Amino acid sequence: MTSLDWVMVALYFTVLLGVASWVVKKSKKTADDYFLAGRNLSWWIIGASIFASNIGSEHIVGLAGSGASDGMALAHYELHAWCLLLLGWVFVPFYMRTQVFTMPEFLERRFSVESRYVLSIVSLLTFVVSKIAVGIFAGGVVFQTLLPEVSLTIGGVYVSSFWIGSIGVILLTGLYTTLGGMRAVAYNDAVQVVVLIGGSLLLTGYGLSKLGGWGRMRELVGSDMLNLWKPMTPVGVESTWAPVIEQDAGGRLVRQAWYFNQQYPWLGMAVCAPIIGMWYWCTDQYIVQRALGAPNETQARRGSIFAAFLKLAPPYLFIIPGMICFALAKSGIVHELARMVGPDGKPIPHEAQGAFPLMVKYLLPSGLRGIVVAGLLSALMGSLAGVFNACSTLWTVDIYQKWKPQASQEQIVKTGRIATGVMVVIAILWLPVVQGAHGLYNYLQAVQGYLAPPIFVVFFFGVFNKRLTAKGCLWAMIIGFLVGIFRMAVDTPVTLMGKPYDKGSFFWIVNNINFQYFSMLITLVSAIVMLVVSYMGTPPDERQLGGLTFATASAEDRAHTRAGWDQRDVIASVFVIVAILFAYLYFRG
């Protein structure tokens, strides 16, 4: 980093501070303003904020690293822009109609208060062990790569650039999030999106120029890395459903079992990935909270469609730069990247994790490097700011306010700020688990795969089937979450200590089941429990379900929703679908 780079970073933070100061001056000390920006966000702010919150540290650092090691395989997750269309067209009418603050609050309206408590607690757990911890870790990776010489010695204890960067990201983000709430998060996200997209485009352009163009990159990385369909193709099924056969010295069968060991099996990508996508984009507080900040259905829907349009960009902004980085390493053009390639000519996953910051460090000229670093910091901070605000909203609205309904607006806001600080401390303690994970993005998808299925089941089944009951919802979540947490408990010792279980043991088999298959199992178990328990009990009173399911929405509700959209919304949605289809047709290896 040169002086000019630091000037560019300083200019960025000056703009950010100016926006935050303006927002804080406009803010009111009310829960509605602090948590949902007074329900007055425009569609373009909503869309930009959804995108900026999603495209955070785990995407820039993790997704580029995945591109460098696995190619286009994880683009399937990034082409879930269609899930945002589901949010806008299917779920927004229900959320705006009920004027809820949180997703657990909507679940209480549809089912019961017990369901609300369970979802609130599990959502907080998910935020801590995935979004917050991963965001902090990625901030440390960026600083460790770009500024390895920065270190401190405090009381005889050496503090590396990794920890300085992690803590620095927390403090900077926490400051404007705590002071300005959702309004500060949303408006700063709008600024960050511009810097993020511009910086990533610059890096892609410089990388291709240095390499010799798109054709040269295709030649170096090989057709497999450019094949988006590879994880979806049932070729070599034996590697997906793999038998474990043990024989004695005489060749006699001692034991036979089955486990699943392919990292991205076609069945998992075809079934599990969309389930996780629909949970994340349509029911996760972290994302949906921006749409809840809209003044009406029209603005919320258009914000969701705009976010879907922006969501088309990550494969081109992050995965492809990661592939360019691997191609540069393989070609020897940038010799500092050579450590990324193993003796067999294949990428080394651990080294590939730093692909994006390595390209920034060794490829860009002074000045432009500062702009891209600012974009990188934008994503890190935008993602963390969103989850900080979501955590404080869940704790304060769904738990604290239920315990103390007489609390003043000022007390509610203060409690939300304290909750954010506690979540950050817990996330820092969880960092060693993330550090031991095999790939940042893989860790994130695995954790979400274990905890998301029950939430997907109760929300999607709940709005489409009026017969489902509160008991069915509650038991589906409890059993589904217990199964998911059991898998996390089995995985964590292996991740932390690096010592696998005895081969062939029960825990070894559980640990070796592909996370996508295990996620599918949790989804199936949750769905069966919800349906069986619901149909064994008394049907719910339809008078209490008014406007909460498709079958119980009134004619006035449907007419109001229909009046809020026009041809522009339809055309924009069709464009998103066509762009997704184009990506699947083009990236065929």
Q: What is the DSSP string of 127-177?
A: IIIIIIHHHHHHHHHHHHHH-TT--EEETTEEE-HHHHHHHHHHHHHHHHH
pLDDT of residue 192: 76
Tell me, yes or no, whether 486 lies in a domain: no
pLDDT of residue 540: 92
pLDDT at 254 over 50: no
pLDDT in tens, 264-308: 677 877 888 899 899 999 998 888 988 888 899 999 999 999 999
Distance CA 169, CA 61 (A): 15
What is the rounded radius of gyration, in angstroms, for the C-alpha atoms of the chain? 24
Distance CA 202, CA 12 (A): 17
pLDDT at 263 over 70: no
pLDDT in tens, 99-117: 888 899 999 999 999 999 9
**Domain range enclosing 222:** 3-235+271-437+553-586
pLDDT of residue 33: 63
Tell me, yes or no, whether 529 lies in a domain: no
**Angle value at C-alpha 58, between 92 and 179, nearest 5 degrees:** 65
pLDDT of residue 245: 39
pLDDT at 467 over 80: yes
Question: Which residue has better confidence, 386 or 435?
Answer: 386
pLDDT in tens, 559-570: 999 998 999 999
pLDDT band at 261 (very low <50, low <70, confident <90, very high): very low
Tell me, yes or no, whether 528 lies in a domain: no
pLDDT at 434 over 70: no
Q: Which of 81-85, 142-146, 163-167 has the highest mean pLDDT?
A: 81-85
Stretch 491-498: mean pLDDT: 72
Longest dimension (CA), the chain: 80
pLDDT band at 199 (very low <50, low <70, confident <90, very high): confident
Tell me, yes or no, whether 531 lies in a domain: no
Mean pLDDT score of the chain: 80
pLDDT in tens, 393-418: 888 888 888 888 888 877 877 887 78
pLDDT of residue 575: 96
pLDDT of residue 356: 82
pLDDT at 84 over 90: yes
474 within 8 A of 118, measured Cβ to Cβ: yes
pLDDT of residue 242: 37
Question: Which residue has better confidence, 78 or 159?
Answer: 78
Tell me, yes or no, whether 410 lies in a domain: yes
pLDDT in tens, 209-249: 988 899 898 888 888 888 887 665 544 433 333 333 344 44
Q: At what angle do helices 133-146 and 409-436 cross, to 10 degrees?
A: 60
φ, ψ of residue 31 to 5 degrees: the values are: -65, -40
Tell me, yes or no, whether 18 lies in a domain: yes
φ, ψ of residue 465 to 5 degrees: the values are: -130, 110
pLDDT in tens, 10-51: 887 787 777 777 766 766 566 666 666 557 788 988 998 888
Distance CA 10, CA 16 (A): 10
- Return the residue matching tokens 């500060």: 184
Distance CA 86, CA 105 (A): 20
pLDDT band at 495 (very low <50, low <70, confident <90, very high): low
Distance CA 206, CA 363 (A): 7
Q: What is the DSSP letter of 506?
A: H
pLDDT at 58 over 70: no
Domain count, the chain: 1
Alpha-carbon distances, residue 344 vs 227, 330, 341, 419 (angstroms): 21, 11, 8, 49
pLDDT of residue 99: 87
Distance CA 440, CA 443 (A): 5
Tell me, yes or no, whether 184 lies in a domain: yes
Distance CA 103, CA 87 (A): 13
**Angle value at C-alpha 251, between 248 and 254, nearest 5 degrees:** 45
Tell me, yes or no, whether 467 lies in a domain: no
Burial class (CB in 10 A: 0-12, 13-18, 19+), 387: buried
Distant-in-sequence, close-in-space partners of 154: CB < 8 Å, separation ≥ 6: none
Q: End-to-end CA distance of the chain: give it in Å, rounded.
A: 37
36: domain CATH number is: 1.20.1730.10
Distance CA 434, CA 140 (A): 12
99: three-class secondary structure by DSSP: coil
- Which region among 345-359, 454-468, 472-486 has the lowest average model confidence (pLDDT)? 345-359
